[in-house]
Amino acid sequence: MKILYLFFTFIFFIGASFAQELTADEIFDIKQNAFALYNTNHINEAYLMLNKIPNNKKDEETYLILANIEQDRNNENEAVKNLKLAIQKNPEFYKPYYNLGCIFMKRRIYPLAIENFELAKKYNKENAYIFYNLGCAYMNSGDFKKAKKNFIKAIYIKNDEKSFYYNLAYVNKKLGKEKDSKKIIDFYNQTFIENKAD
């Protein structure tokens, strides 16, 4: 009798687990709702909702948002874990590399920041902030030539960011090009500040 009871209990739990398995449409709905919650700063609700998705069904975007939530909660180590899981899901998704680069920049681990920004750049060559942050990582590690190259590329993509110009001017100064440094600042001031005043 006891064996029969255990058998039916086992069958019940197996049936329940199959019944609770989420369909692709249900996972899509959970993700959309969670992303909406995250974008409206309801991070705890978004976190709970995303964790309803089984790990084997989570995609790179899900892990990216979970990482962002962990960063918002100051759990950087958990954020790093989720970003690495996002990369495992899709090694050509640039955002996890970019976020890892930012974490390592904050920690002043410049070689890892550079490595991750370079990977982000490999998969997205049109994002000015990747080039800018890569330039900052090179600048902070003392490689002013590579920093300059990346700041120039950032400006080429997005030419109205003050910090791009000031960092380019700074690395020119560090490279002994004082005149170029002054020209960059003057150009920015004339083009963006004086034109706004008109």
Q: At 19, is the pLDDT very low, low, confident or very high (cuts 50, 70, 90)?
A: very low
pLDDT higher than threshold 90 for residue 82: yes
pLDDT higher than threshold 90 for residue 54: yes
pTM for the model stands at 0.84
- pLDDT score for 190: 86
- 31: tokens are 């993700």
| Higher pLDDT, residue 179 or 7 | 179
**Contact status, residue 80 vs residue 103, Cβ threshold 8 Å:** yes
User: What DSSP letter does each residue of 1-28 carry, written as one string?
Assistant: -HHHHHHHHHHHHHHHHHHHPPPHHHHH
- From CA 172, how far away is CA 166, in angstroms rounded? 10
- 39: tokens are 């974008």
* Residue-wise pLDDT tens digits, 123-154: 999 999 999 999 999 999 999 999 999 999 99
pLDDT higher than threshold 60 for residue 58: yes
- pLDDT score for 18: 37
- Quote the distance between the C-alpha of residue 97 and its chain's center: 6
